[in-house]
Amino acid sequence: MLPWRRFPLNEVNFAAQKLAFVIKYSSLIVSSGKIQDCDGMGSERVDTEGKARNKEAKMKRRKSDHGSTRAGGDAIKNNKKTPKTREKTDLGESHKKVMVFKSENLDSTISASESVKETDNDFSARKGLKRKWVQDESMDSSVIPTSKKIKHKLGENSDEERKTKKSNKKMQKKVKCEDSNECKKPKRTKGEIEEARQLKIKKKEEEEQSRWRWWEEEKYEDGVKWRFLEHSGPYFPPEYQPLPDNVHFYYDGKKVKLSLAAEEVALFFAQMLDHEYTTKKVFRENFFKDWRKEMTDAERSLIQDLGKCDFGEIHAMHKAKVEARKNMTKEEKQALKEANQKIVDEFGYCLLDHHRERIGNFKIEPPGLFRGRGEHPKQGMLKKRIQPEDIIINCSKEACIPVPPAGHRWKEVRHDNTVTWLVSWTENIQGSIKYIMLNANSKLKGEKDWEKYEVARKLKSCVDNIRSQYRSDLKSRQMSTRQRAVALYFIDKLALRAGNEKEEGETADTVGCCSLRVEHITLHEQMDGKEYVVEFDFLGKDSIRYYNKVPVIKKVFKNLKLFLENKQPGDELFDRLYTSMLNKHLSSLMPGLTAKVFRTYNASITLQEQLKELTNKSDSVAEKLLSYNRANRAVAILCNHQRAPPKTFDQSMATLQSKIDARKEQLALAKSGLKQAKKEAKAKGSSEFKLQTLVERKKAAVKRCEEQLLKMEIQATDREENKQIALGTSKLNYLDPRISVAWCKNMGLPVDKIYNKSQRDKFAWAIDMTEVDFEF
DNA sequence: ATCCGCACTTAGAATTCGGGTC
DNA sequence: GACCCGAATTCTAAGTGCGGAT
């Protein structure tokens, strides 16, 4: 690697540092406790008008910026902002990040872009491929239930094939029975349980065999997502059931019988009464406004004050219903489960290019009160019931078009194979479009996912150049270029999101990199013994707080100082920068490169490096898994994936601790037992066979005890470290699964130690194709 | 050139499942 | 067999970014 391509030394996160961090960060997180409230930072929020003015000014500048050459010379004098006191956001116990990693540049490896080939679209050739597939891995539609019409399309495999397959399965089952003890110990309720278990195993095998190995097929021509698509349409939630006669709503102490529409909305509110939402002013106001819209004139003139409404009985009824559900008999639960399964069978699958694919969300979202995240201005608004007349169906021309519910018709039926959705509707809160799409284990999603990681790998080979480019851009004479360079520095180093512009008043006030405001950063020439520290404090996606103190290079620091000149807290930090410009620039550096690719790249490369550093082949399984989780955790911290600590966290930790203590006692007991046995054996001479075996047995007991203790202790460490960190998001969306699969192979671990069933399904392509020596 | 609608990914919370324990 | 708890799944909000209309 050429020296000039590298980050200067103070930027490189050395392996030793990182290792120390990983070992240390657990204690940091554990000991950090509560973070200060944002408002404690002395930052002020500007009123909406102020922000709107800002935006306007930015728009004007956007037009004139071309001519500007002197950096900072044309800084805008901002309008005076009127600060507004804002309701405090309860951020809960989020962890304080003390250090964030940066991945060091690795020697570039040219990535395998060949996997994303775009060629032959000769359908007959493809057909041949497919036919081959059908023969090789016939789908047994008699086992996996489908809706009628989908089933008949599936009937491509001959009975003969089916028979052979079945007999194969029988053989497999027999073998299994012989070498496992499953057959030997029939359980209490044996018959049924055993049968169910066998059925499950069988189903699993079937699934494995019927998996569409799309990654072995050629890709379609650009833009074409499918050639044939058939489905049963959406599943609608049940109609509203009026309240029983003994449940009443009271207004101002008097019983009021509400109209059906008003009653339904009242129930939405009553259901949420235990939730904090219903105490919030904005929520209550929005709800009340929308509720009144649903009332009859008479109701509207009577019910004027939400405070006088008594939903007590409705709330109690709802709670009783929930309780009753919990207390259902086994038979009732079983019946319910079967009914649900029937719905899944009918609506949960579609047929896409001769393959049966699972749909991700085939149920229409039921009506209710909108629950935004954070301080959402629209929280509490009524989310309306979706009618078939709101629904657009997308499927093949040749397919059976799903039938709308009786007496209804679809808004539209279209046949657009350049999109992946099956059903769409427009939601009434933001006016945005909602879609029904395929499950994550589908070809459509999997292929895209694979492609995403290939783009990120491509970035690996040119990231050095890009870094040196934005570093030299820090000195650019053009203000917008400098801002772009600093933003890129943050996006790369801190894995910040792009930060698109948002419509004022439509959503919670959250920001990403390009939309950062002056109030979100504080500059410290010196802090905690470090130079040029930037302190970030803002709410990001989902109103999750990002708090971090980061030492930056001098040039970045000086630029930030410049950007802050003559600005108010509510002004934009990067007033000359837009995500569109940034992405346009990035795509000129590398095709397909956008801001979010950096997140994927840095996440995956961090995982790979961490795994390399943290794991040894000689470690025990539990230790390996702890290391894997720690590597995963390092990524989650980098990407700021937080979660509310589980409600039962303290309790479950205590339980685990008491188990550990008990095990320790047991171990001590086992040890003294061993000692005693050894003593006796020695006294009676080694000829005593019985005593010798006793010693061996005791030894084994001690060893077992020790192992179990270690395992539990590791589990406790893992859980403690994970208190407020969510691993799932990075695992599912940012970490190239091939890194994990290769690691498993290297470590001699089965993949199901790190991926559960649905994760294995989602990453089937990676599990199938990854070799031990895979390098991201 | 800019805006905006659209499509699709990413996100944490809520709910449900299922296996272990008493 | 009831109950409890962590894991898995579901749900849907909230982002990103492309590309066509203007």
Q: Which residues contact A676 (CB under 8 A, 6 or more apart)?
A: none
Per the structure, the residue whose CA is closest to nucleotide B9 at C1' is A733
CATH number at residue A253: 1.10.10.41
Q: Are A698 and A4 in contact (CB under 8 A)?
A: no
Task: Tell me the C-alpha distance between A35 and A535, whole Å.
Answer: 13
Position A356 in a domain: no
Residue with the larger pLDDT of the pair A187 and A428: A428
Task: Tell me the C-alpha distance between A616 and A747, whole Å.
Answer: 8
Per the structure, the residue whose CA is closest to nucleotide B12 at C1' is A643
The residue among A599, A620, A645 that closes a domain is A599
- Phi, psi angle pair for A498, to nearest 5°: -60, -50
pLDDT of residue A582: 95
Position A398 in a domain: no
A296 Cβ nearer than 7 Å to chain C strand: no
Instruction: Say if residue A530 is in the same domain as residue A627.
Output: no
Instruction: Say if residue A593 is in the same domain as residue A612.
Output: no
Q: What is the 3-state secondary structure of A101-135?
A: CCCCCCCCCCCCHHHCCCCCCCHHHHHHHHHHHHH
CATH number at residue A684: 1.10.132.10
Spanning CA of A483 to C1' of B15, the rounded length in angstroms is 45
pLDDT of residue A455: 96
In 3D space, the residue among A362, A388, A366 whose CA is nearest the CA of residue A442 turns out to be A362
Instruction: Say if residue A621 is in the same domain as residue A585.
Output: no
CATH number at residue A540: 3.90.15.10
Instruction: Say if residue A493 is in the same domain as residue A589.
Output: yes
pLDDT of residue A199: 60
A733 Cβ nearer than 7 Å to chain C strand: no
How many beta carbons lie within 10 A of that of residue A329, not counting itself?
Answer: 8
Instruction: Say if residue A676 is in the same domain as residue A544.
Output: no
Beta bridge partners of A425: A434
DSSP result, A167-209: HHHHHHHHHHHHHSSTTT---TTHHHHHHHHHHHHHHHHHHHH
pLDDT of residue A195: 57
Q: Are strands A309-310 and A249-251 parallel, antiparallel or unpaired?
A: antiparallel
For residue A451, the enclosing domain spans 445-599
Residue with the larger pLDDT of the pair A769 and A154: A769
Q: Which nucleotides of B are covered by protein (CB under 7 A)?
A: 1-4, 6-14, 17
Per the structure, the residue whose CA is closest to nucleotide B1 at C1' is A63
Q: What is the DSSP secondary structure assignment for residue A557, as one 8-state letter?
A: H
pLDDT in tens, A578-621: 999 999 999 999 999 999 999 999 999 999 999 999 999 999 89
Confidence of residue A207 (pLDDT cuts 50, 70, 90): low
Give the distance between the most distant pair of CA atoms in chain A: 100
Position A701 in a domain: yes
Highest-scoring range by mean pLDDT, A318-327, A368-377, A679-688, A720-729: A368-377
Task: Tell me the C-alpha distance between A149 and A717, whole Å.
Answer: 52
Alpha carbon distances (Å) from A614 to A17, A195, A458, A675, A742: 13, 43, 25, 36, 15
Position A731 in a domain: yes
Whether residue A44 has pLDDT greater than 60: no
A359 Cβ nearer than 7 Å to chain C strand: no
Whether residue A738 has pLDDT greater than 80: yes
Instruction: Say if residue A644 is in the same domain as residue A743.
Output: yes
Instruction: Say if residue A681 is in the same domain as residue A641.
Output: yes
The residue among A305, A327, A349 that closes a domain is A327
Position A551 in a domain: yes
Q: Are A149 and A250 in contact (CB under 8 A)?
A: no
pLDDT of residue A57: 52
pLDDT in tens, A475-488: 999 999 999 999 99
Average pLDDT over residues A255-268: 97
Instruction: Say if residue A547 is in the same domain as residue A659.
Output: no
Q: What is the 3-state secondary structure of A716-757?
A: HHHHHHCCCECCHHHHHHCCCHHHHHHHHHHHCCCHHHCCCH
Long-range Cβ contacts of A468-475 (<8 Å, 24+ apart): A468/A4, A468/A5, A469/A589, A471/A555, A474/A555, A474/A556, A474/A559, A475/A555
Per annotation, catalytic residue among A220, A546, A734, A755: A734
Instruction: Say if residue A566 is in the same domain as residue A614.
Output: no
Q: What is the 3-state secondary structure of A13-70?
A: CCHHHHHHHHHHHHHHHHHHCCCCCHHHHCCCEECHHHHHHHHHHHHHHHHHHHHCCC
Spanning CA of A68 to C1' of B17, the rounded length in angstroms is 62
Percent helix, strand and coil across chain A, each rounded to 5? Answer: 50, 10, 40
pLDDT in tens, A670-704: 888 888 888 887 777 656 677 778 888 888 888 88
Position A16 in a domain: no
Instruction: Supply the pTM of this predicted model.
Output: 0.77
Calculate the dihedral angle through the C-alpha atoms of A642, A647, A652, A654, rounding to the nearest 10 degrees. Answer: 100
Instruction: Say if residue A530 is in the same domain as residue A590.
Output: yes
Could you tell me the two tokens for A44?
A: 């002020």
Average pLDDT over residues A187-208: 57
Confidence of residue A197 (pLDDT cuts 50, 70, 90): low
Position A366 in a domain: no
Instruction: Say if residue A638 is in the same domain as residue A739.
Output: yes
Exposure on the CB side of residue A682, measured as CA atoms within 13 A? 6
Amino acid at A392: I
Position A33 in a domain: no
Confidence of residue A204 (pLDDT cuts 50, 70, 90): low
The residue among A273, A297, A327 that closes a domain is A327
Task: Tell me the C-alpha distance between A468 and A4, whole Å.
Answer: 8
pLDDT of residue A194: 54
The answer to whether residue A734 is catalytic is: yes
Average pLDDT over residues A733-757: 95
Whether residue A526 has pLDDT greater than 50: yes
Spanning CA of A492 to C1' of B10, the rounded length in angstroms is 18
Domain total in chain A: 3
Q: Helix (H, G, I), strand (E, B), or coil: what is residue A217?
A: coil
Task: Indicate the average pLDDT of chain A.
Answer: 77
Q: Are A418 and A437 in contact (CB under 8 A)?
A: no
Instruction: Say if residue A763 is in the same domain as residue A614.
Output: yes
Per the structure, the residue whose CA is closest to nucleotide C12 at C1' is A365
